[in-house]
């Protein structure tokens, strides 16, 4: 993995994720240079300076975008708004859950994405997925060119990513080019659902899946028989758990095999493995709505897939990096070995010789993303052929 900040895994992960999600190396370098020495003090110290340095580049881009938009150069403006949003999203992700300015930065990300959709990507719109007495914020990328029903993938993020990160990854665009729409959802415990609506994560993710399917079934541009679910990082627990119990889903992808996330938390207490974000324990308490670490650890013991993946009865792909420093590779094998009732299960391990070998393939994100997109397209094509 490219390591701009030697020895600081968390900050390096943010840099690599940004570069593989539309960031430009010159702009990322200008954002990182002022904080290079701070990175040597660890991942928690200096995150406020991280936000300031990356925001400075985003500010410049937003000014340039506004000038381009005023001149009628709408594509140029949209591209600059998109990169500004990407840098802000990554910097916001690094902040403490207790930072009182965090939601201000996140709201700016939301506003920038609205400009991106308006100027650059009218096929993507903001939607609301009804959930309990509230709603889950989401982006929908429509691959239907004439309003006819097409297959759709529901996409869930993980512990610290947002629907903005999912959009920036380009995965929805890859699916759209294959005739597949994407619903990118901020589930409880993530993104806007957590920050703006106070919705926290839970073990029973099939409730979220049911809400997403219910919403999609109201749309005439969705094929009800071909609705799939993909989740990355902690979504590698969320998605398989949901697919085991929400039987209206046609396929499932674990983008990172988070088979026993509760056990990973105990490892992190013992300082084994890498953390995904700074201020880690404050972050997980926020996501799961738990009052203290001891209570959280007891609750997290239920966040596993033993006795669950056996109940997946649809095609199931597990994609995992051989050098994932957050989630042990053994969990990918465990999910595969236990998914005995999937009619088409596949385990794809990405090795260091090809890249995409770090957590969810962030070191070569397009490589793993296109593999998953092709697998999904093939399974949906098979389902369509069988239905004829």
Helix ranges restricted to H, the chain: 9-19, 25-32, 47-70, 74-93, 102-119, 163-168, 171-177, 191-195, 206-216, 235-245, 261-269, 280-288, 293-300, 330-338, 365-387
For residue 388, the model assigns a pLDDT of 78
Residue 336 has which token pair?
């595969």
For residue 294, CA distances in Å to 258, 276, 285, 290, 299 come to 21, 20, 10, 9, 9
For residue 271, the model assigns a pLDDT of 84
Neighbouring CB atoms inside 10 A of 117's CB total 19
Return d(Cα 333, Cα 241) in angstroms, integer: 16
Contact of 341 with 252, CB cutoff 8 Å: no
Q: Which of 384, 345, 32, 360 is nearest to 169 (CA)?
A: 360
Return d(Cα 154, Cα 372) in angstroms, integer: 13
Which residue matches tokens 């997980």? 284
For residue 206, the model assigns a pLDDT of 98
For residue 274, the model assigns a pLDDT of 85
Q: Would you write out the chain's pLDDT as a tens digit for each of its 388 residues?
A: 999 999 999 999 999 999 999 999 999 999 999 999 999 998 999 999 999 999 999 999 999 999 999 999 999 999 999 999 999 999 999 999 999 999 999 999 999 999 999 999 999 999 999 999 999 999 999 999 899 999 999 999 999 999 999 999 999 999 999 999 999 999 999 999 999 999 999 999 999 999 999 999 999 999 999 999 999 999 999 999 999 999 999 999 999 999 999 999 999 988 877 889 999 999 999 999 999 999 999 999 999 999 999 999 999 999 999 999 999 999 999 999 999 999 999 999 999 999 999 999 999 999 999 999 999 999 999 999 988 7
For residue 270, the model assigns a pLDDT of 85
Report CA 346 to chain centroid distance, whole Å: 21
What the chain holds in terms of domains, given with CATH numbers, is 1-122 (1.20.1440.110), 123-388 (3.40.50.1820)
Query: What is the pTM (predicted TM-score) of this model?
Result: 0.97
């Amino acid at each position: 993995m490219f390591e701009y900040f030697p020895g600081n895994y968390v900050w390096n992960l943010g840099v690599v994720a940004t570069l593989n999600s539309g960031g430009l190396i010159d702009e990322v370098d200008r954002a990182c240079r002022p904080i290079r020495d701070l990175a040597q003090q660890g991942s928690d110290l200096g995150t406020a300076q991280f936000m300031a340095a990356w925001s400075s580049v985003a500010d410049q881009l937003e000014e340039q975008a506004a000038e381009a938009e005023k001149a009628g150069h709408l594509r140029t403006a949209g591209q600059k708004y998109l990169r500004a949003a990407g840098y802000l999203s990554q910097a916001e992700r690094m902040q403490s859950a207790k930072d009182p300015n965090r939601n201000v930065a996140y709201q700016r990300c939301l506003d920038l994405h609205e400009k991106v959709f308006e100027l650059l990507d009218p096929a993507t719109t903001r939607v609301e997925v009804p959930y309990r007495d509230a709603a889950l914020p989401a982006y929908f990328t429509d691959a239907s060119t004439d309003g006819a029903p097409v297959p759709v993938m529901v996409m869930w993020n993980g512990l610290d990513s947002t629907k903005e990160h999912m959009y920036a990854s380009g995965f929805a665009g890859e699916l759209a080019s294959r005739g597949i729409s994407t619903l990118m959802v901020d589930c409880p415990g993530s993104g806007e659902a957590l920050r703006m609506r106070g919705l926290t994560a839970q073990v029973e993710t099939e409730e979220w899946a049911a809400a997403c399917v219910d919403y999609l079934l109201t749309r005439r541009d969705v094929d009800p028989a071909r609705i799939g679910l993909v989740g990355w990082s902690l979504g590698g627990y969320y998605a398989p758990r949901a697919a085991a119990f929400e039987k209206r889903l046609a396929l499932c992808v674990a983008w990172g095999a988070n088979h026993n996330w509760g056990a990973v938390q105990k490892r992190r207490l013992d300082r084994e493995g890498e953390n995904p974000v700074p201020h880690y324990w404050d972050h997980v308490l926020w996501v799961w709505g738990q009052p203290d670490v001891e209570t959280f650890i007891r609750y997290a013991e239920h966040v596993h897939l033993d006795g669950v993946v056996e109940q997946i009865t649809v095609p199931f792909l597990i994609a995992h990096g051989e050098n994932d420093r957050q989630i042990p590779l053994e969990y990918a094998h465990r999910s595969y070995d236990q998914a005995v009732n999937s009619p088409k299960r596949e385990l794809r391990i990405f090795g260091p010789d090809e890249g995409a070998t770090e957590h969810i393939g962030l070191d070569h994100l397009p490589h793993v993303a296109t593999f998953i997109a092709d697998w999904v397209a093939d399974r949906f094509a098979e389902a369509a052929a069988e239905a004829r």
